[in-house]
Amino acid sequence: MSEVVLSVAGLEKSYDDVIAVDGLDFEIEKGECFGLLGPNGAGKSTTLAMLEGMEEPTAGSVRYYGAPLPSDYQTRVGIQFQATALQDFLTPFDNLKLFSSFYDDPIPMDQLIEQFRLKDFLHRDSRRLSGGQRQRLLLALALVHNPEIVFLDEPTTGLDPRSRRDLWDVVSDLKADGRTLILTTHYMEEAEVLCDELVILSHGKTLLQGTPEQLITDAGVSDLDTLFLSLTGETLVKTQEVIE
């Protein structure tokens, strides 16, 4: 059995009188791609923020190898935020150099440039990158210190089909490296392709948990969207619909 990297117990997060996350329990094993699936407002990003150590839970806990999050947790995780601006007028090269300077033993820049195929736009103002180029840069910045766990918050939202496929390839390569990936998405096809384990959230609560195949088989439905519809009356976004 694989080692548990992160374990979540009774996790809750409230903002004033709004409950964003309402009592989650799950474990994430080393080397797996763990997906948090759900529509907008389901609590995916808030849950991810607590797993990243960026937000404090209102109640419950996130444990790293069974212990509280260590003080150097930020050096062990890489985060690709859903919406991140970079400094104006800086190029991908400048940004890689900047973020590399934050760590003691960063991955050589040449290696990152090649791995994330940044060469063609390395010296372009970051504000003029396409969606796919920008996401590849953000992913490279998240990986600059060779982290053990990588968080990806809706990494393909707003991308065209080709850029989406490109990013899937990059994420698959990261999986093949043996990294633990934690991914939020509301695209079921993405979850089916990339994730080993899924938690389906709605209104901050776990609706179902399991492998994509297991969830579909157990429910006797054709796909995750149909499953979600049958559970909540709401529909997830089908990737193909978005593409079309």
86 binds another protein (CB under 8 A): yes
Among 85, 110, 222, 244, binds another protein (CB under 8 A): 85
Say if residue 17 is exposed, middle or buried (CB neighbours under 10 Å; 0-12, 13-18, 19+): exposed
94 binds another protein (CB under 8 A): yes
Provide the 8-state DSSP code for 122.
T
Q: Between residues 107 and 231, which has the closer beta carbon with respect to another protein?
A: 107
Task: Quote the least distance from Cβ 225 to another protein, whole Å.
Answer: 29
Characterize 108-121 residue by residue with b for buried, 16 or more Cβ atoms within 10 angstroms of its Cβ, and e for exposed: ebeebbebbebeeb
Contacts with another protein in 97-126 (CB under 8 A)? 97-99, 101-104, 125
Kindly report the number of other CB atoms within 10 A of residue 13's CB atom: 22
CB 140 within 8 A of CB 115: yes
Contacts with another protein in 10-49 (CB under 8 A)? none
9 binds another protein (CB under 8 A): no
Q: Which of 213, 152, 230, 218 shows the shortest CA–CA distance to 185?
A: 152
**Residues at the contact surface with another protein, assessed by CB under 8 A:** 52, 54, 72, 74-75, 77, 79, 81, 83-90, 94, 97-99, 101-104, 125, 141
